[in-house]
Structures are given as C-alpha cells and as structure tokens.
Amino acid sequence: MADQSIIRITKEIGELQKSSDLSLAVAFRDRDVRSVKALIIGPHETPYEFGFFEFAVKFNKDYPRKSPNVTGTTTNSGRCRFNPNIYASGKVCLSILGTWRGERGEEWSAAQGLESILLSIQSLMSSNPYENEPGFEDANESHDKKNQKEYIAKIRHETLRISVIQRLEEYLGITGSCLEPPTPTERDEYDLDMDDDIDIDDASVPWEPFKDLCKRRFLWYYDSYLETIKKAKEEVKDGQPFVRMPFEGTSNTMDGKFNYTELEQRIRRIKAVLDAEPEKWAVEGVSARMKDATVSVNLTRQYEQIRESFKRSDVPHSIELVNENPFVWNLTYFGRPMTNLDGGMFRIKLNFSPRFPEEQPRIKFLTSMFHHRIAADGTPCYFPNPNRREDIKQHIDAIIEALEEEQPPYDPRTLVHPEAHKLYWGSPDERKTYNRQLRRSVQRSMEDF
C-alpha cells in the first residue's frame, strides 16, 4: 500500500510539473516525496492578482484513500488571514480536505488528487472572497457591501506587501529603509558564491524551490503591480487602518494600515536589484570560463551548435557572445516576412547564471518592441519546455513562437504589458491601434539598428 501511495504521489507531482498551467507549481526533495511545497499565483482581476501564495502538503500513508494535510505558509508568520477559509494559522478550510463541512458529494474521494486540491484553493481566491464566509447570503445587504469593499481593499494591499514584496526582499537579502537605493552588499549577499561547497540538504539552508520562478514572474508582472498601486492610491489614503471583518477573531485577523507609497518604493527597489543580478552573473561567468567550469563548457558548446544551426537555416537570425563571455549572448531576431514583424531587426540579450539551469536565463529585448508578450522593460513572456530547461535552443524557439503566434488564446496570466494587452484583446478598433503601434516599433527597429 505504501509503495502504491508513493507511486501515485510521484505521478501526480510529475504531471503538475509538466503542466502548462502558469499559476501552479509544485516541488519536493528527493528524500521525502510525501512532503510537497506548492505555489499558487493569484488569479487576474482579483485582490490576489499575481501574488505568490505557498502551501505545505503532507501526504499520509493512506493516500489516496485519505486526503493530505494542507497548510498555508504565506501568513506573515501567522499574523495574516488571507481569506475566510485560509486562516492566519495556515489552516485551509475545504470540504475535500475534511476541514470544513460540505454538501453531500463534496467530500474527499480517491479520484481527486493534488491538482484538484490546489485548484479548489485557487477558487477561494475570487474577486469577492468575502462571499466565502459562511452565512454571507444572510448578511445585511448595505452593511455587507461596505464590508466586502473594505475586505477586498486590505487583501489587495497585503497580497502585494506580504506575498510579493516581502517574499522577494527575503530572496534578495534586501534590508533597511526602502527610501534608500540598494547597496552593493544587498545586491550580492543573496547569491551564494559559486565556489562555495554547500550541502543542499543542510537543515540550516532554507529550501526555496520557487525562488527563481518568483523572480522571473515578478519581472513579468512588475508593471501590473505598479498599475494596481496607482489605482489603489485613488481609493485609500496612506495611514488609513484596515477594517476588521465580523468573522475575524483575536488571533485570526488581517490587521494593519494602508501605505501604498512605501509599497511602490519597495517594488521599485526590488526591480533595481533584480536588474543588477545578470550583471553579477556576467562577472561570475568570466571566472567560471577561466576555470573551465562545467556550466561554462556547456554554454559554449550550445552557443556553437546554435550558431551553426542558424547558418544552415533559411532564417537570418544570428547570435554572438558579448566580450567572448559564454554567459552573455546577443541574439538578433529578424521579423518573419508577410507579418506585422516583417522587416524588423531586434537585438535580444540572454544572460545565464553560473547556476544554470537551476536558475533560468534572464532575457531582455534591447530593441524596443510594442508587443503584448513583451514587458515595457523588454522582458519577454514565453513558455520553455519544462522538461528541457537546459536546452537554450528551445528557449530561443519559445521566444520566437511567442512573438509570431498569430491566433494566441486569451490568457490573463501572460499580462506583462498592460497597455498592449488591453489593446490586443480589446475591440476591433483597439486591435487596429495595437497593430499600428507594433508596426511603428518594427520601423523604428530598422532605423535604430
């Protein structure tokens, strides 16, 4: 039974890791498949939008006959209740977990699994989470609407402050006043020296499987975070206290004050530190190249193979190393004929970490392109094959596919350029405006090349 349980858990984790769902991620240490970490990225157009919410999942030996134990860990050390059904203690109230009484047929069954649990939790992160409170349908309408608005407002604030800003600051070692620019020490201290021999199983070293993912997604959603702050500043004032909801108890609350001015400063500071990170990788890369480190040899080999494949191809794309550093590449992309990109010439910079592929490439368009899949700062939103993270050619192919896709399905999780996204998915007239702006950026690329 125990072996069957482990086989089932491993299969479910593998399927999730191969999934194209951009809002869910799972990880476990090889030594303990029954202890899983899961990340849920907050849905678009909710107060949880693009927040990073982590959960600990413990599978018992009777799984799947019995549901696993699930605990929320994004709680600001037990001080923040993010939902009527997600307590400050981390308790998650769901009928399928046996932590809440549900209607007949809503209880756990062996046909359910890890994905259904995570999707059920994600469904709690709705546009109006106040509705999750039992007895909501019987509440006084006028008073209740006021509570809903105030509850949504403070969840939006704490989603940014705790799940995004606080998380990234911890990852990056950012400390001190947010009014000051990041110091060289702060930019450096979060990265382990590449020559250090660290035992990853050392209990003193925090296990952070979503660190790189959250960094990259922060860059995707940076402009959306700023847009959220801008809108929220029009609704609440700095220093205004949160309103306690009727269902919030003494030790199960979300207390605090609004301070979006400070959040904006902290968001911008995180962005500055993340933007400096590839520069540090480049310096480390020089040292790694001199020592013929394995990652340096691997990157050099892949560079040479891709360069030759471009030469043999009928497309004129080209690549070159920057200062002969295998950790920094320049890719020149030429727009496909008979499309809105026709005639465009765009330079794209690829930075690689000495810890590649554990840390994925940091990629940026040096030539500006107005595109719904490219952030204003040049960060592309693309989907590499999760089973081939070490294959740089498939990263490049995925970027080109994102640029050239003619009829992409609507997906709010790819909202990396708010203005371009709104125009692209808007009315026919807005789509025409989008196409005109894209063509202008293509024309400018030819002039600036």
Q: What is the pLDDT of residue 190?
A: 39
Q: Are 235 and 104 in the same domain?
A: yes
With a cut of 80, say whether residue 433 has pLDDT above it. Answer: yes
Q: What is the pLDDT of residue 21?
A: 82
With a cut of 50, say whether residue 185 has pLDDT above it. Answer: no
Residue 113, both tokens: 């699994």
Residue 432, both tokens: 């025409």
Q: Are 212 and 340 in the same domain?
A: no
Q: Are 316 and 268 in the same domain?
A: no
Instruction: Pick 107 or 161 by higher pLDDT.
Output: 161
Q: Domain for residue 287, yes or no?
A: no
Q: What is the pLDDT of residue 20?
A: 76
With a cut of 90, say whether residue 226 has pLDDT above it. Answer: yes
pLDDT in tens, 18-53: 887 889 999 998 878 999 999 999 999 999 999 999
Per-residue pLDDT averaged across 413-418, rounded?
96
Q: In the 8-state DSSP scheme, what is residue 183?
A: P
CATH assignment at residue 53:
3.10.110.10
Distance of CA 384 to CAs 21, 129, 180, 244, 290, Å? 13, 33, 36, 43, 30
Range in 132-136, 143-147, 322-326 with the lowest mean pLDDT: 132-136
The edge-to-edge listing of strands for the beta sheet with 24-28 is 24-28, 35-41, 52-58, 69-72
CA 316 to CA 332: how far, in whole Å? Answer: 9
Active-site residue (options: 80, 93, 214, 381): 93
Q: What is the pLDDT of residue 132?
A: 81
Q: Are 249 and 358 in the same domain?
A: no
Mean pLDDT, the chain, whole residue set = 90
- At 318, is the secondary structure helix, strand, or coil? strand
* Cβ partners under 8 Å of residue 135, min gap 6: none
pLDDT in tens, 291-340: 989 999 999 999 999 999 998 888 789 999 999 999 999 999 999 999 99
* Cβ partners under 8 Å of residue 37, min gap 6: 26, 27, 28, 54, 55, 56, 57, 207, 209, 210
| Helix then strand then coil, % of the chain, to nearest 5 | 45, 15, 45
Range in 36-50, 101-115, 396-410 with the lowest mean pLDDT: 101-115
Q: What is the pLDDT of residue 178?
A: 52
Q: Are 341 and 215 in the same domain?
A: no
With a cut of 80, say whether residue 141 has pLDDT above it. Answer: no
DSSP string covering 202-246, please? -TTS---TTHHHHHHHHHHHHHHHHHHHHHHHTTS-TTPBPPPPT
Count CB neighbours of 374 within 10 A: 25
CA 397 to CA 383: how far, in whole Å? Answer: 10
pLDDT in tens, 230-247: 999 999 999 999 999 988
pLDDT confidence tier of residue 177, bands split at 50, 70 and 90: low
Q: Is the dihedral of CA 14, 15, 16, 17 positive or negative?
A: positive
Per-residue pLDDT averaged across 122-148, rounded?
77
Q: Domain for residue 83, yes or no?
A: yes
- 8 Å CB contact between 145 and 130: no
pLDDT in tens, 86-96: 999 999 999 99
CA 86 to CA 167: how far, in whole Å? Answer: 18
- 8 Å CB contact between 123 and 24: no
Distance of CA 228 to CAs 120, 160, 217, 219, Å? 25, 9, 16, 15
Q: HSE, CB side, 13 Å, CA atoms: give it for residue 357.
A: 14
Strand partners, 351: 328, 362
Q: What is the pLDDT of residue 28?
A: 94
Q: Are 304 and 264 in the same domain?
A: no
- 8 Å CB contact between 223 and 376: yes
Q: What is the pLDDT of residue 194?
A: 35
Place of tokens 């046909």: 111
Q: Domain for residue 169, yes or no?
A: yes
Per-residue pLDDT averaged across 92-118, rounded?
85
Domain limit, last residue, from 247, 278, 309: 278
Q: Domain for residue 286, yes or no?
A: no
Residue 270, both tokens: 């995180």
CA 446 to CA 441: how far, in whole Å? Answer: 9
Per-residue pLDDT averaged across 360-382, rounded?
97
Q: Which domain holds residue 420?
A: 292-448
Q: Are strands 325-334 and 69-72 parallel, antiparallel or unpaired?
A: unpaired
Q: Domain for residue 285, yes or no?
A: no
Q: What is the pLDDT of residue 199?
A: 41
CA 261 to CA 241: how far, in whole Å? Answer: 15
Q: What is the pLDDT of residue 140?
A: 54
pLDDT in tens, 351-369: 999 999 999 999 999 999 9
pLDDT in tens, 153-162: 999 999 999 9
| The total number of structural domains that make up the chain | 2
With a cut of 50, say whether residue 220 has pLDDT above it. Answer: yes
Query: Residue 419 class from Cβ within 10 Å (0-12 exposed, 13-18 middle, 19+ buried)?
Result: middle
Q: Are 118 and 189 in the same domain?
A: yes
Q: Domain for residue 201, yes or no?
A: no
Q: Are 265 and 329 in the same domain?
A: no
Q: Are 299 and 273 in the same domain?
A: no
pLDDT in tens, 186-200: 444 434 333 333 344
Q: Are 123 and 260 in the same domain?
A: yes
Domain limit, last residue, from 217, 243, 278: 278
- 8 Å CB contact between 73 and 252: no
Is 381 annotated in the active site? no
Q: Are 104 and 38 in the same domain?
A: yes
52 phi/psi in degrees, rounded to 5: -110, 105
Residue 212, both tokens: 């790189």
Q: Domain for residue 179, yes or no?
A: yes
Q: Domain for residue 43, yes or no?
A: yes
pLDDT confidence tier of residue 143, bands split at 50, 70 and 90: low
CA 71 to CA 74: how far, in whole Å? Answer: 9
**Where are any strands of DSSP class E within 249-391?**
318-322, 325-334, 345-351, 362-365
Q: Are 334 and 273 in the same domain?
A: no
Domain limit, last residue, from 278, 300, 330: 278
With a cut of 60, say whether residue 136 has pLDDT above it. Answer: no
Preceding amide of 64 cis, omega within 30: yes
Preceding amide of 357 cis, omega within 30: yes
